[in-house]
Structure 1
Amino acid sequence: MYLAEEAWPDLETYFENESLALVPLGSTEQHGPHLPLATDHLIAEGFATAAADRTGFLRTPTIDIGVSPHHRQFSGTMWVDAPVFRDYVESFTRNLAYHGIDRVIYVNAHGGNVEHLREVGRRLHDDEDVYAIEWMWNDSIPDLVDELFEHNGPHGGPKETALIQHLQSELVHDDRLADARDGGFPEFEASDPTHHGARTFYDAIDNTDNGVFGDQTDATAEKGERMFEEATAQLVQLCNWLDDQPFADLLPKDHV
């Protein structure tokens, strides 16, 4: 069920009988010369939609601009400052709680959002209002990702390329895959992002001229479909597990 397509009287029954919502979040940021800026939020929305369709749980509209200042040198990248992002996500999550939702899954597809979603989840958990957790698709299927790609890369690499080839192939510039690989770093470790144990970079451009890592020529729509189905199955299982938990068991434990 997609919240924004329903009339309010038709949502009353859901809020009376269910307490879980899926919130897709991503970014609008550069993903190299071959992928759209929408990559992350398209992926997040794809997973949240599929999980909502297969479980009947509520999906909210997608949050499509995230914490992305580290990609700002590349044309078109949009971002919000981290404190603004955290406050915004917390605010609309409390809005869901007002309607009766007490557990939320942030279906996230942007690494820059992770720590901030965890912080929001902690605030809500400490206040005993909502149990909100962050889910990242590739973290649910790490072995499959390693199996499919020899040189993956954390950003704009073959895993994201394959997913967009599966979800919206018309947005992928397949004629630029070799350029994406050759203009970036096929092997992430080769970019040497640390010195003497310290992370000495702040922006993506400090490590890659075209903004991406990995071997994009290794991506196919078939690999994308396999990842999508297996990660969606994990998200469905997470939804069902969370729905089964008594809310009291999700609250903070008492001081020892």
Structure 2
Amino acid sequence: MELQKSTWPEVENYLQSCQTILIPIGSTEQHGPSGMIGTDSMIAEAITKELARRSGLMCAPVLSIGMAEHHMAFAGTISLQPQTLSLVIRDVVHSLEVHGFAEFIFINGHGGNGPVLQRTFQEDVTNCRFYNWYMGAETRKLRALLYADQEGRHATPSEIAVVQYLDESTLRNVACDPVCAPALAYEGAQDMRDKHPDGRIGANVSLADPVDGKRLFETSVDDLMATLIKDGTIAPPQHPSERG
């Protein structure tokens, strides 16, 4: 169930039986010469919508602009300051609390949002938690199997593959040199570009493939479903023999 595609009476009806909402959060930032600027938000939104479909939980609109100050030397990146993003998160949660929502699960697509989410949850809001789509146990295993040490840290083949699966019009045939980018320490946006001039960090994007993207997408949703069952947010599916 999507908040954006619901009427207010439908939301009220949902709240009579469930007060949990899923909130996708991503970023609008460069992802190398072949990755979409909307990569993090596209993945977070798609995975959260599928998670909502399978779990029966409501899905909020994606928060598509995150903390991406370290990518601001690349054209197209839009960033919120950490304190601004924290205020946005707080206001979104407060707005939903007013209507009766009481449990807020953020599905995160951008590592740079993590510290802001953690700090905001500790200091300003309650009953919130977040999961990174790419950090579930089986998803991490699959990423390692597919890409090993060429997965890298940014503009990774895994995230580009998922976007290719979601929208094949995003495929770009770009030759990168070197094939696998270096992964160097940096300080600030300009230093990031100086040391990683095409925007990749430690990644070999030539390994990205939409077929693998489908596997990663489905594995991530499975991981997240298992997590929601384990933490008691949703009930495990009943075996046919257990149904009355």
TM superposition score category, shorter chain reference? 0.7 to 0.9
The letter for the 1-side match of 2:144 is: D
Q: Structure 1 runs of 4+ off > 6 angstroms?
A: none
SS in 1 for 2:163: helix
Cα deviations across residues 36-71 of structure 1 (Å, max 9, x unaligned)? 111110000011000001111000001111101111
SS in 2 for 1:31: coil
In the alignment, structure 1 residue 226 sits paired with structure 2 residue 215: yes
- How far did residue 227 of structure 1 move? 0.9
Matching residue of 2:147: 149
Mind listing any 5+ residue stretches in structure 2 that lack a counterpart?
A: 236-244
Query: Could you say what the CA RMSD is over the residues aligned between the two structures, in angstroms?
Result: 1.7
**Distance across 2 between alignment mates of 1:191 and 1:122:** 31
Contact 2:72 2:78 in 1 (8 A): yes
Mind listing any 5+ residue stretches in structure 1 that lack a counterpart?
A: 194-199, 246-256
Cα deviations across residues 60-100 of structure 1 (Å, max 9, x unaligned)? 00111110111111111101111010011011112112222
Contact 1:36 1:172 in 2 (8 A): no
Pick aligned residue for 1:217 from 206, 217, 232 = 206
**Distance across 2 between alignment mates of 1:202 and 1:105:** 30
> Structure 2 matches for 1:53-132, cutoff 5 A?
53-124=53-124, 130-132=126-128
SS in 1 for 2:21: strand
Identity of aligned pairs, percent?
27
User: Structure 1 residues 98 and 152 mapped into 2: Cα distance closer, same or farther (>3 Å)?
Assistant: same
Cα deviations across residues 217-247 of structure 1 (Å, max 9, x unaligned)? 11111111111111101112223334259xx
- How far did residue 157 of structure 1 move? 1.7
The letter for the 2-side match of 1:211 is: G
Matching residue of 1:249: none
Normalising by the residue count of structure 1, what TM-score does the alignment of the two structures yield? Answer: 0.84
Contact 1:157 1:216 in 2 (8 A): yes
User: Structure 1 residues 235 and 124 mapped into 2: Cα distance closer, same or farther (>3 Å)?
Assistant: farther
> Structure 2 matches for 1:1-256, cutoff 5 A?
1-124=1-124, 130-140=126-136, 141-150=139-148, 151-173=150-172, 175-176=173-174, 178-179=175-176, 182=177, 186=180, 190-193=182-185, 200-203=186-189, 204-213=192-201, 214-240=203-229, 241-243=231-233
**Distance across 2 between alignment mates of 1:8 and 1:116:** 30
